[in-house]
Amino acid sequence: MKKSLIFSSLVALFVSVTTIGTFQYFDTDQNKITIQHVDSTPSKNAIFTLENNGNAIPVDFNETAESVLDGVVHIKSSHLYSGNSLDYQSQNIPEPFRDFFGDQFFSPRKQHKRNYNHLKKSPTRVGSGSGVIISKEGYIVTNNHVVAEADDLEVTLHDNRTYKARVIGTDPSTDLALLQIKAKNLPTVPITDSDHVNIGQWVLAVGNPMGLNSTVTAGIVSAKGRNINILKDKYAIENFIQTDAAINPGNSGGALVDLNGGLVGINTAISSPTGVFAGYGFAVPSNIVSKVIKDLMEYGVVQRGVLGVMIRTIDGNFAKEKGIELTRGVYVDSLLENSAARKAGIEVGDIIQLVNNVEIKSSPELQGVIARYRPGEKVKIKIDRNGKEKEISVILNNREGNTTMNDKDTRAVIKVLGVKLETIDSKLAANYELDGGVKVNRIYSGKIQKYTQMREGFIITKVNGKEVKSKDQLLDMLEKKEGGVMLEGIYEEIPGEYFYAFGMS
């Protein structure tokens, strides 16, 4: 009993001494609590990931962010609203045209003359986005939707220098655009091979979301080959890299980079019920970006090869329906009449598995890979035909069904208009009882796209009421023209005459 009491007393004494000692430790130096600060994160070199070559590298966002921030810019786009809209579309000449072009084109209606002096103080819509410097000579890649309809573009670098930018070219099919500023020896973000990007690997999104400049967010690659049907272009190519790195409005055109600081994609879109980040962001793969900017630099337009096939992604249900053993790949549903695929020997029912050794699991992936090549270039396609593998070489066509590439027109007015033109042949002219005309084969970024709803295939027959018979005549008429321009013409398959107006300044 005494031993038990003595033991209990000793335990109580020990606890009391320990408590008093601990209190005195924290109560010294005028009752201030001592907090130890660690100079560096202990786990900095404890977490590793594997690079493409299989070498272990530490997950260190700090060094990657520092290497990339200087190469990502803020883009402010300004668009002047005009109460005098120039894109009236009607088969009959609308009343506003009479005031816009003046009485010299139409019968006098001076009693109804409108006053447009208030347009001198037009309201301005200002947009915000991001861009990536890809050349020390001042070339910047961004999204087409960041610069579309902009009357003024201002680029702010990470060090707060500002420049006016000009548009070199755009590609609505991939939502990409190329700008240039007058600056040299700029920091750049190197472009890496997006085919080697793996699902689950770390990536950083760098941009200017919500007006917050130079913002870095981290995440992983969530998926590849995504098609979210966000691009409205007729020939849209969606083969997005999906990431859970936070992307918000203002991030558009910014960089998605790996831990080595290499550009793997251009941040383009989010999928969200609220309009802000909800866990999913999408970027155009760098291999598509690289092809587009090279074409825009060299030609001013994108030279895009096509297979000429209608395709479907194979899944389990489709495989059962068609009696196919494979559950991955792209099924050839039909072929265009003069398609490159048909000429090379590809048949309906073939399953495309590889293109130049790149695995194809879905339709967006096939579109993305083919989009890297120009008309006239050869690709090797591995197919499965009735359970047997076969490799077929295909020489890609353009959209017209031949291998001709679009020539870069050197006349400045072509770039202002943003179109590809050709004089119609005598047979087509005779069909419509015309002495001549100019067909609009392609519409790119320019005044036609910005101010009108003209569609490709429009045949221009008159300019401001004067007949036009050839491409050169049309360009001569517009080259030194200032003020209002009205293009009159027809479509081959749509009845009636159409009028499109815009201003040349």
Q: What is the pLDDT of residues 108-145, one digit of tens each?
A: 333 333 343 433 445 678 889 999 999 999 999 999 99
Topology of domain 58-81+123-302 in CATH is Thrombin, subunit H (2.40.10)
Given pLDDT bands bounded at 50, 70 and 90, which one contains residue 311?
A: very high
- Strands 139-143 and 202-207: what pairing? unpaired
Question: Is residue 282 within 8 Å of 240, Cβ to Cβ?
Answer: yes
Q: Which pLDDT value is given to residue 410? A: 61
Query: Comparing C-alpha atoms, which of 142, 138, 144 is closest to residue 172?
Result: 144
Q: Which of 331, 363, 325, 336 is nearest to 349 (CA)?
A: 331
> What is the percent of the chain with per-residue pLDDT over 90, rounded to a whole number?
55
Which homologous superfamily does the CATH classification assign to the domain defined by 309-395?
A: PDZ domain (2.30.42.10)
Is residue 381 within 8 A of residue 392, CB to CB? The reply is yes
- Per-residue pLDDT tens digits for 321-358: 989 988 889 999 999 988 999 999 999 999 999 999 99
**pLDDT higher than 90, residue 262:** yes
What is the C-alpha to C-alpha distance for residues 104 and 207, in angstroms, rounded to an integer? 51
Instruction: Output 419-423 pairs: Cβ under 8 A, ≥24 positions apart.
Output: 419/443, 419/444, 419/446, 419/448, 420/301, 420/444, 421/471, 421/474, 421/475, 422/471, 423/469, 423/470, 423/471, 423/472
The residue ranges of DSSP E strands in 134-214, in sequence order, are: 139-143, 152-156, 162-171, 176-181, 202-207
Sign of CA pseudo-dihedral 440, 444, 449, 450: negative
CATH topology identical between 58-81+123-302 and 412-504: no
pLDDT of residue 352: 97
Across 292-310, average pLDDT = 91
Catalytic residue numbers? 145, 175, 252
**What tokens does 35 get?**
């907090």
| 316 membership: H or E segment, kind and range | helix 316-322
Give bridge partners of residue 312 from the DSSP assignment: 331
Tell me whether residue 218 is exposed, middle or buried, using C-beta atoms within 10 angstroms of its C-beta: 0 to 12, 13 to 18, 19 or more: middle
Domain at 412-504, CATH class: mainly beta
194 SS3 class:
helix
**Cα distance between residue 395 and residue 341, in whole Å:** 8
Indicate the domain borders of the chain.
58-81+123-302, 309-395, 412-504
pLDDT tens, position by position, 449-463: 878 989 989 999 999
pLDDT at 399 over 80: yes
Give the tens place of pLDDT for each residue, 22-67.
Answer: 445 444 454 554 454 445 444 344 466 666 677 776 677 999 999 9
**Which of 88-92, 210-214, 275-279, 370-374 has the highest average model confidence (pLDDT)?**
370-374
Residue range 73-86, pLDDT digits in tens: 999 998 775 544 34
pTM (2 d.p.): 0.74
Q: Which amino acid is it at 452? A: T
Nearest to 458 by CA among 431, 421, 418: 421
Listed range (109-113, 233-237, 409-413) with the worst mean pLDDT: 109-113
pLDDT for 234 beyond 80? no
> What is the CA 119 to chain-centroid distance, rounded?
33
For residue range 174-223, what is the model confidence (pLDDT) as tens digits?
Answer: 999 999 999 999 999 999 999 999 999 999 999 999 989 999 999 999 99
What Å distances lie between residue 486 and 82, 151, 417, CA to CA?
18, 21, 13
Of 492, 488, 400, 411, the C-alpha closest to 452 is 488
pLDDT, position 34: 44
pLDDT for residue 57: 64
Distance CA 335, CA 73 (A): 43
Report the range of poorest mean pLDDT among 132-146, 167-181, 233-247, 398-412: 398-412
Q: What's residue 419's pLDDT?
A: 87
pLDDT at res. 498:
94
pLDDT value at residue 246:
95
* pLDDT for res 216: 97
